């Protein structure tokens, strides 16, 4: 079977700056595979090992992302694909999903797509559902355990881990699955493997290759600012812990916080 | 396109608190948009919820009712919502930012080619145009989104962002819509409550512990009893979740839950940027830490410098006595 894992590169931490054109400036911050996507890659690898076939790691991004795509190849992905075009730069999540959907359709033989629960920078979590709808496929989001992938019977069964319940759901294949953090333990690629893939250049498909044009963002960012500082707080003083605790409880009651 | 359509979620047969919040804010936004506030109830048995939605101020409550809708499925519930959007033609559709509603709202927005904003903390209408505020980058960036004209907007709103609708309204009507024909690509085999599940995002008070609690036994000795004395839930930093002290469901932060309670108590939690990402919008924050330089003090409403082993038992006892618990 052919499994695709959608992967983003993100800054390791979010101490980012805001450029004057409202784009995000993460210069100087180390870049990593989006945390949840490492779990998506591991899950893809596990089912690829079981059923054989291809595992393609796919990003709609920029050349810089190739470094993290190579890490996925070192983990065991068999193929890679970069979607890159100047016109992709300012798309919103829904339009980005349409671009990726066009690529998956062009691949033609994809049975299953794994995504992360969300990106840790943009944090929307809308990509996987938007991708599934653009493809007209089933979606299983917030998956904490994949119980069965059955390529012959064309179905996948998984546990969706929601806030207070676990749903066990069977979806028809092809399908899009988004995974949460504790679904598995992602492997570390060996140095040997990292070396082996160091020069691989993923094939690049542009908007023209995909036949996508006229995409526009329905949501655009009109302002971007750092969070307002919290009003400065009060340090509770007292001669000993018991006095401080009494004073704290007084304050919480006075201000009707409890 | 005019007005607002609120997707009503339920908890045990009653309208969920977050949906009451959306009806409260929806009233104001609908007035600014010059259109009605309407609601949508989808499910197996909708009559009780529909009446409650009328009391919360809906002009029209659209219902789509069928046994096949009793359990959520993306295909079933999105199809029902598209039918209601067709009938109500809203400029803005509101739902919560719960996991299930993100599954739903993103799919709906994709199908409608709508503008989408997820995890919204504020909404405005200016000159007939909707804008939505949402944090990203672990709360380090606050974005305001504008939307393309002529396309509806779907906003998935963080819990506890707005005051609840007062209730007691009357005069609204209920309109039942037929079940749309849908291809169901998923089948729900089972829905099981998570054992010991806490819905941290629902809790009005959360007490979180971190590595300052020393070990798992000490965490359970000190944190849950304090949470109980406050009538709240207990949370954790990633450090101690990864160390296996506390299940992942309790993790607050960028890769755990995002919470906005009335009171967040952080004990022995340093206040790393990724932890703050999950709780910095809490209305009140109490930091308890032996290190006066801990970053958590910079966001705290009240800070108490001290050893958790000494402070927490005293605090729990004091609260039990003063609150009579
Ligand atoms: C991609 C990524 C995602 C992450 N996501 C999250 C996330 O979702 N949530 C999260 O929490 N973290 C997250 N982290 C981890 C985060 O960076 C911190 O490592 C973590 O929050 C630290 O946990 P802590 O505060 O319990 O531990 P520490 O940072 O070790 O802090 C312990 C604190 O306890 C205090 N202390 C020690 N002993 C006592 C005592 N006896 N009495 C009182 N105080 C005491 C210390 O002064 C210190 O401030 C993430 C990191 C990365 C890289
Ligand atoms: N530009 C992209 N290229 C490939 N995959 C993406 C991209 N953006 C998002 N994804 C996938 O969608 C998931 C959720 O991202 P988001 O909805 O943006 O928070 C990520 O974990 C990735 O699996």
Residues B168 and B215 in one domain: no
Is pLDDT above 90 for A77? yes
Tokens of A194: 């990292």
B199 in A contact zone (CB under 8 Å): yes
| Residue B188 falls inside a structural domain | no
Both B48 and B166 in one domain: the answer is yes
Across chain B, what does the average pLDDT equal? Answer: 95
Residue with tokens 């596990």: A46
Task: Grade residue A211 by pLDDT with cuts at 50, 70 and 90.
Answer: very high
> Among residues B176, B208, B234, which one ends one of the domains?
B176
Among A121, A126, A161, whose Cβ lies nearest the Cβ of B106?
A: A126
pLDDT on residue B197: 61
Tell me the CATH number at B303. Answer: 3.40.50.1220
The CATH number of whichever domain residue B106 belongs to comes to 3.40.50.620
Per-residue confidence (pLDDT) for residue B303, from 0 to 100: 98
pLDDT for res B148: 87
What number is the ipTM of this complex?
A: 0.90
Lowest mean pLDDT among A58-72, B86-100, B246-260: B246-260
In sequence order, which residues have a C-beta less than 8 Å from that of residue A37 and are 6 or more positions away?
A5, A6, A7, A8, A115, A116
Radius of gyration of chain B (CA): 21
CB contact under 8 A, A129 and B106: yes
Number of structural domains (chain B) is 2
Does residue A13 surpass a pLDDT of 80?
yes
Region of A196 (left: φ > 0; alpha: ψ -120 to 50; beta: rest) is alpha
Q: Are the beta carbons of A32 and A10 closer than 8 angstroms?
A: yes
Q: Within chain A, where are the H helices?
A: 35-51, 66-75, 93-107, 127-135, 191-196, 207-210, 241-254
- CB contact A177 to B (< 8 Å): no
Q: Is B321 on the interface with A (CB under 8 A)?
A: no
| Cβ–Cβ under 8 Å, residues A34 and A116 | yes
Under 8 Å between Cβ of A157 and A147: yes
pLDDT band per the 50, 70, 90 thresholds, residue B238: very high
Q: Which residue of B has its CA nearest to A121?
A: B137
Q: Is the pLDDT confidence value at B325 over 80? A: no
pTM of the model as a whole: 0.89
Contacts of residue A109, defined as CB under 8 A and 6 or more positions apart, other chains included, come to A2
Question: Is B218 found in the same domain as B116?
Answer: no
Look at residues B158, B126, B114 and name the one whose alpha carbon lies nearest to residue B29.
Answer: B126
CB atoms within 10 A of CB B218: 17
What distance in Å separates residue A2's CA from the closest CA in chain B? 20
In-domain check, residue B185:
no
Q: B254 or B39, which is more confident?
A: B39
Determine the Cα angle at B26 with ends B21 and B31, to 5°: 145
Q: Are residues B163 and B206 in the same domain?
A: no
CA-to-CA distance for A115 and A135, rounded, in angstroms?
A: 14
B193 domain residue, yes or no: no
Residue pair B265/A258 in contact (Cβ under 8 Å)? The answer is no
Predicted confidence (pLDDT) per residue in B138-156, tens digit: 889 999 999 988 899 999 9
Rounded to an integer, the average pLDDT of B1-24 is 95
Residues A89-134 pLDDT 10s: 989 999 999 999 999 999 999 999 999 999 999 999 999 999 999 9
State which of B137, B213, B216, B237 you would mutate to test the pocket of ligand 1, scoring each by most atoms of that ligand within 8 A of its C-beta.
B237
Query: Buried b / exposed e across A228-239, counting CB within 10 Å, b at 16+?
Result: eeeeebeebeee
Same domain for B226 and B98: no
Is B190 a member of any domain? no
Kindly state the tokens that stand for B175.
């309109």
Helices (H) and strands (E) in chain A, counts: 7, 15
Ligand 2 in reach of A167 Cβ (< 6 A): no
Same domain, B217 and B316: yes
Domain co-membership, B76 together with B225:
no
Q: Is residue B217 part of a domain?
A: yes
Look up the CATH architecture of domain A2-210: 3-Layer(aba) Sandwich (3.40)
**Dihedral of CA B184/B187/B193/B194: which sign?**
negative
CA distances from B221 to B84, B175, B224, B268 (A): 50, 53, 7, 14
| Residue B127 domain flag | yes
First-residue to last-residue Cα distance in chain B: 52
Tell me: pLDDT of A209 over 70.
yes
Using a 6 Å cutoff on CB, does residue A80 contact ligand 2? no
Residue B277 in 3-state DSSP? helix
Residues B170, B245, single domain; the answer is no
Bridge partners (DSSP) of residue A172 are A155
Span of A58-72, A197-211, B24-38, B192-206 with lowest mean pLDDT: B192-206
Q: Do B71 and B115 lie in a common domain?
A: yes
With a 6 Å cutoff on the Cβ, whether B238 touches ligand 1 is yes
Beta bridge partners of B114: none
Q: Is 90 exceeded by the pLDDT of residue A88?
A: yes
B159, B56: one domain = yes
Angle of helix B99-112 relative to helix B74-88, nearest 10 degrees, comes to: 60
Q: What number of other Cβ atoms are within 10 A of residue B146's Cβ?
A: 17
Q: Given pLDDT bands bounded at 50, 70 and 90, which one contains residue A4?
A: very high
Contact list in A for residue B287 (CB cut-off 8 A) is 233
What is the DSSP-derived secondary structure letter of residue A240? S
Residue B198 has pLDDT above 80, yes or no: no
B46 and B159 housed in the same domain: yes
Range of the domain at B217: 200-323
Partnered with residue B165 across adjacent β-strands are none
For residues A158-189, one letter each, b for 16 or more C-beta atoms within 10 angstroms of the residue's C-beta and e for the rest, the string is bbbbbbebbbbbbbbbbbbbbbbbbbbebeeb
Same domain, B13 and B128: yes
Mean pLDDT over the full length of chain A: 96
**CA A32/CA A45 separation, integer angstroms:** 19
Helix (H) or strand (E) holding A9: strand A9-11
- Classify residue B75: in a domain, yes or no: yes
Residue B201, pLDDT above cutoff 90: no
């Amino acid at each position: 079977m052919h499994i695709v894992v959608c992967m983003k590169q993100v800054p390791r931490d979010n101490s980012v700056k805001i450029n004057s054109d409202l784009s995000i400036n993460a210069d100087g911050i180390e870049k990593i595979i989006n945390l949840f996507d490492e779990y998506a890659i591991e899950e893809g690898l596990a089912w690829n090992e079981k059923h054989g076939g291809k595992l393609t790691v796919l990003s709609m991004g920029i050349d810089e992302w190739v470094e993290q795509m190579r890490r996925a190849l070192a983990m065991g992905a068999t193929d890679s694909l970069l979607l890159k075009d100047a016109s992709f730069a300012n798309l919103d999540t829904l339009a980005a999903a349409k671009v990726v959907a066009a690529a998956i359709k062009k691949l033609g033989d994809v049975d299953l797509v794994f995504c992360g629960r969300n990106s840790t920078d943009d944090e929307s979590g809308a990509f996987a559902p938007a991708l599934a709808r653009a493809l007209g496929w089933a979606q299983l989001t917030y998956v904490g355990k994949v119980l069965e992938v059955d390529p012959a019977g064309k179905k996948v069964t998984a546990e969706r881990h929601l806030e207070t319940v676990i749903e066990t759901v069977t979806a028809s294949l092809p399908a899009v699955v988004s995974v949460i953090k504790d679904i598995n333990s992602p492997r570390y690629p060996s140095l040997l493997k990292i070396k082996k893939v160091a020069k691989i250049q993923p094939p690049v498909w542009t908007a023209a290759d995909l036949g996508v044009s006229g995409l526009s963002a329905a949501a655009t960012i009109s302002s971007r600012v750092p969070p307002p500082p919290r009003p400065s707080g009060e340090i509770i003083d007292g001669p000993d812990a018991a006095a401080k605790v009494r004073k704290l409880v007084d304050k919480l009651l006075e201000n009707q916080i409890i | 396109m005019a007005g607002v359509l609120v997707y009503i979620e339920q908890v045990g047969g009653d309208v969920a608190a977050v949906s009451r919040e959306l009806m409260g804010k929806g009233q104001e936004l609908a007035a600014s948009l010059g259109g009605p506030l309407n609601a949508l109830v989808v499910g197996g048995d909708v009559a009780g919820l529909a009446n409650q939605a009328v009391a919360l101020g809906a002009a029209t409550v659209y219902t789509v009712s069928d046994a096949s809708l009793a359990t959520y499925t993306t295909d079933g519930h999105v199809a029902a919502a598209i039918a209601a959007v067709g009938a109500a033609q809203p400029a803005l559709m509101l739902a919560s930012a719960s996991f299930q509603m993100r599954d739903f709202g993103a799919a709906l927005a994709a199908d409608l080619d709508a503008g989408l904003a997820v995890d919204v903390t504020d909404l405005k209408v200016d000159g007939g145009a909707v804008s939505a505020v949402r944090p990203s980058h672990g709360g380090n960036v606050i974005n305001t989104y504008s939307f393309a004209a002529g396309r509806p907007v779907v906003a998935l709103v963080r819990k506890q962002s707005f005051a609840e609708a007062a209730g007691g309204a009357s005069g609204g009507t209920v309109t039942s819509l037929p079940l749309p024909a849908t291809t169901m690509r998923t089948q729900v085999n089972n829905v099981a409550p998570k054992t010991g599940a806490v819905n941290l995002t629902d809790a009005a008070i959360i007490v979180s512990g971190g590595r300052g609690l020393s070990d798992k036994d000490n965490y359970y000795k000190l944190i849950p009893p304090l949470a109980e004395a406050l009538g709240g839930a207990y949370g954790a930093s990633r450090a101690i979740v990864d160390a296996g002290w506390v299940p992942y469901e309790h993790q607050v932060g960028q890769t755990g839950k995002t919470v906005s309670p009335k009171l967040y108590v952080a004990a022995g939690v340093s206040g790393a940027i990724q932890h703050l990402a999950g709780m910095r919008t809490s209305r009140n924050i109490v930091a308890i830490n032996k290190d006066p330089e801990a970053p958590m003090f910079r966001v705290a409403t009240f800070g108490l410098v001290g050893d958790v082993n000494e402070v927490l038992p005293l605090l729990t006892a004091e609260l039990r006595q003063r609150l009579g618990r």
